[in-house]
Amino acid sequence: MKINAFTLVADLPENIKQQILQEARQTFESLSYPVDIEEELENVENSKMCDIECTVDVQKYYTEHVR
């Protein structure tokens, strides 16, 4: 599977999706203000990779870079 900025997190292989969700959870738990973590994780799962770049280091998961 090619993974790039426009890949949906929900379409990723399960192991990669779980890694991204774990990294996102850690980010949300470390925030200095409260967020609904489960709701935010659902948002991450339904996002494109480029939409979560501020939350997760998605570059390391890319197999294809789009110009």
For residue range 36-60, what is the model confidence (pLDDT) as tens digits? Answer: 999 999 999 999 999 999 999 999 9
Task: Work out the mean pLDDT of the chain and round it to a whole number.
Answer: 94
Give CA–CA dist 56/27, Å, rounded: 8
> From residue 48, how far is each of 5, 6, 11, 24, 31 by CA, in Å?
7, 5, 9, 14, 22
- The pTM score is 0.90
Which segment of 31-35, 38-42, 62-66 scores lowest on mean pLDDT?
62-66
pLDDT of residue 8: 97
What is the pLDDT averaged over residues 3-29? 96
DSSP codes, the chain: ----TT-BGGGS-HHHHHHHHHHHHHHHHT-SS---HHHHHHHHHTSBGGGGTTTS-GGGG-SS---
Radius of gyration of the chain (CA): 12
